[in-house]
Amino acid sequence: MMKKLIFIRHGRAEDPASGISDFERSLTLKGKVISKLMARKLREIEKSPGIIITSPAFRAIETALIFAGEFGIEHHQIKINSYLYYKMNIRYLPEILAGAGEETDTITMFGHNPSFTEIANSLCSEGCDFLPKCGIIGISFNIKTWPEIRQKIGKQEYYLKPEKTL
C-alpha cells in the first residue's frame, strides 16, 4: 500500500502593499499563468491530486483553485486548513492529515515557505531541494495509514519547478 503527499507552494503574489495584509495578497497575472502551466505539468504525472487542502491565505487559495480547475475538481471540494498558514511544521502534520480517510491515497497541500521546504526535506529519506514559488514536490510513503508517516521514510517521486517546465 502507498500513500502520497504533494506539496505545492503558492504562485507569485503581489508585493506587500500598504493597507493589504500578507494574508490578503493576491497572485500576480504571471503567478496565475505559471500556476496554470504547473497544474498542466502535474496532470501529466498524476491522474488525481486526491484531497486538496490549502492554506487560508488568498494567494494559496487562488493557486489551489487553478490546480483544481485543471483536474476538473469542484471548488467546494477544496478544504481550507488554517494550520497551513499559522502553524505549519512537522508536529502539526498528523492533525492536518487526520481529516483524510484511509481510503484516500493522495493528499495535495497548498501553502508557504519556509515550512513546505522544511517539512518535505524532513520527510524524504534523501532530503529535497528548496521549493520555489509554484514548485511541486511529490513524496510517496510505503505505509497503509496516514498516522504511520514519519520523518525520513518518504521517497521523493518528483520535484517540479517553473524554470524547468516552461
- What H or E segment, with its residue span, contains residue 157? strand 155-160
Backbone angles phi, psi at 138, to 5 degrees: -105, 125
In this predicted structure, what is the pLDDT of residue 164? 56
In this predicted structure, what is the pLDDT of residue 163? 76
Fold of 3-10+23-144+153-165: Rossmann fold (3.40.50)
Domain ranges of the chain: 3-10+23-144+153-165
- Give the three cell numbers for residue 50: 486526491
Phi-psi region of 18 (alpha: psi -120 to 50; beta: other; left: phi over 0): beta
Q: What is the mean pLDDT of the chain?
A: 93
Contact 12, 30 (CB under 8 A): yes
> For the segment 17-76, what is each residue's pLDDT rounded down to a tens digit?
777 888 999 999 999 999 999 999 999 999 999 999 999 999 999 999 999 999 999 999
Q: How many CB atoms lie within 10 A of CB 15?
A: 8
CA distance 22 to 63: 15
CA distance 108 to 136: 10
Q: What percent of the chain has pLDDT over 90?
A: 80
Q: What percent of the chain has pLDDT over 70?
A: 98
